[in-house]
Amino acid sequence: MQNTDETRNRLIRVFTENHMEKIFYFCLKKTGNSTEAEDLTQDISFQVLSALNRGIVPMNFSAWVWQIARNRYSVWAKEKHTRNESVTGSDIGDYEIEDNSEIIIDEMIRTEQTALLRRELAFIRGDYRNIIVAYYIENKTVRSIALSLSISESAVEQRLHRARIILKEGMNMAREFGKRSYCPDDIAFVTSGSQPSGLPWKAVKRKIPKNILLQASNNPSTINELSIELGIALPYMEEEIGILCDATLLEKQGNKYITNLFILDKDCRVEIYNRLRESAEERSRLLRAFIEDRLTDIRKLGIVNDSIDDNEVRWWLVPYLLDYLIKNAVNSVSAWDPPKRANGESWGIVGYECTTLPEETGMEHCGAGDDHNNFWAYYYGDITVTDPCEIPEFEDVLLLCDYFRKHLNGEPLSDFEKSLAGSRNNGYAHLSDDGHLVPDIILLTSDSVNRIRDLFREHTVFARLNRNMTEAYASVEKVLKKYSHEVLHKNLGYNIRMELYATRMMAVHDLVENGFLILPDDPGKSHIGQYFELGQP
C-alpha cells in the first residue's frame, strides 16, 4: 500500500516511542548478551523503518512489527548456529529456549505491558532499581555499572540476578494496593504549644504524609510495605519518610517505621466519647450546683464590671472550671506540658480520623500574650455564641494589660495613653469619665484566680467532681492503651488530657439544654468566653 509522508512519520514515531524499548528486551532475552541484543535491535529497526519508507502501511502495526522481530531473530539464530556448529555441536533448538515460567521480559513483550515493568521498578529497593535501570534501560555494561558504583562486577551480577527474581515475583502477582492508595483517609489534626518553626503543620499539610502517618499508626511498617499499601513509588516514599522522621512524627524501629503521635481511628474516638458521656451528666449537675452557690462570691472578686451579666460569667466558668479539674487529674507536671522536640520546641499534635459523633466535642482555647499578660477566648464548637474574634496582636495584649493594671491601682491614663487605648482595645474595654480603661470582658488577676480555686476546692461538690474527672482520666487511659502501640505511651498523659477536653462541650450542651446557659440575643456583639489574665508584673 502507498503511504503518505504524514502517515509514515506517524508510524515511525509510534515505533520509536512504543516498540523499540520492548524489542531490545526481546532481543536481550533471546540472545542473553547486551551487545548482540543491541545489534539485533538495530537490524529489526532497520527492517521496520525501511519498509515504512518504501510506503508499506500495515493493517495491524503492532503485529506486523513483532512478525519482523521474530523473523529477524530466526535469521540471527540460524546464522549463529552455522558459525558455531562445528565448534560447539549445538542445535538450532538451543536458541529457541522454551520458558514455561514466563520470565519477566518475555511476559512483558507478549502482553506489551511496559507499564507493568515500570510499576514493579517503583517497588524494589533503590540499589536494585538503579542497577536494573542502568543495565536494561540505559544499556550500560556490567563493567561500567561496577565502576560507577565502586563495587565489583560480581556484586553487580548478583544484584542483577536478585533484582530479576524480585521483578518476576512482582509481575507474576496480582498486586493489590491498599485502600489508601485510592481513597485517602481524612485526618484532622489538633496541636498545642510553641511552634515557631512551622512544625508540625508544614509536615502534614498534604494528603500523602497524612496517609503515611495513618498507615504506620500502631502498625510498624517497612518503607516497602508503606509503598505498596499506599501505591507510592519508593523514591517518593523515601523522601516523605525522611521529612516525617525529621519532624519527629515518625519513629524508626529497626527497619520499620511507626507513627510517633496518637491518631485516633473511628472506633477509638467512639469508645472514648461513650466513656466520657457516661459520666457527663454528673459533671454538669455538680458544676451547676457550685456556680449557682458561689457566683455572687466570684463576682465580688472584681473580675467583672456591672455591665457583664451572670449568664456571661457562667458561660466562661463552665469550661474554666473543667480545665482546672482536668489539670488536677493529670498525675505529673510533664504530662501537662506538650512533648519536647528534637529542634528544641515544645508542642503536641493529635490526629483524628474523621467520623460523626453524637455531638460536637471540640472547643478551641486560643490566646496571645506572655507569662504575665494574656488574652484568652473559648470557642464553643457547634454553638455560635459569638462570631470568631480575631486574637489581639501580641503588642496590643501587653499594652491593654498594662493599662488594666493602672485601672486596678486607681491610676488614670494620660492623654497619649488614652489615644493608644482607644485605637487598640478592639471592643474589649472602654474609657471611663475619670480617665480609666475599664475592661468589658472578664479580667483575672493572680489573686482572683487563686481565690476562685479556693472557693471551688472548699465546696462540697469538688471531691465528687475531682473523683469523676480522675475516673474519666483512667477510662481514657485504658482506651488509648488498647488502641495504641507502646511507643506512644511515653506521652500518654498529654494525650489523655487532650481527650478530656471533650468534657467542656458535653457540659455546655447539657447546661444549654436545661436552661442554665442562655444563648445571647446578639451573638455578633457578645464577648462570651473571652477574658484577660494578669500575672505578677
d(CA 228, CA 518): 54
CA distances in angstroms from 251 to 184, 210, 211, listed in the order given = 22, 15, 16
Structural contact between residues 171 and 120, judged by C-beta atoms closer than 8 angstroms: yes
d(CA 155, CA 158): 5
CA distances in angstroms from 167 to 38, 107, 217, 280, 450, listed in the order given = 22, 12, 29, 57, 69
Q: Is the pLDDT of residue 230 over 70?
A: yes
> How many beta carbons lie within 10 A of that of residue 510, not counting itself?
20
Nearest Cα residue to 106 out of 159, 164, 48: 164
What is the DSSP secondary structure assignment for residue 346, as one 8-state letter? B
pLDDT tens sequence across 366-408 = 889 998 999 999 988 887 665 556 788 899 999 999 999 999 9
pLDDT in the model for residue 60 = 77
The model's pTM? 0.66
The winner for highest mean pLDDT among 98-102, 147-151, 314-318, 328-332 is 314-318
> Coil, strand or helix: which one is 444?
strand
Compute the C-alpha angle 49/50/55, nearest 5°: 95
pLDDT tens sequence across 155-197 = 888 888 877 777 666 555 444 444 444 344 577 888 888 788 8
Structural contact between residues 428 and 441, judged by C-beta atoms closer than 8 angstroms: yes
Question: For a pLDDT cut of 70, what percent of the chain falls above it?
Answer: 83
Q: Is the pLDDT of residue 332 over 70?
A: no
d(CA 23, CA 253): 44
pLDDT in the model for residue 117 = 58
Burial 195-226 (b: 16+ CB within 10 A, else e): beeebbeebbeeebbbbbbbbbbbebbebebb
Q: Phi/psi class of residue 532: alpha, beta or left (left: φ > 0; alpha: ψ in -120 to 50)?
A: beta
Residues 6+ apart with CB under 8 A from 379: 363, 364, 365, 366, 388, 529
pLDDT in the model for residue 70 = 84
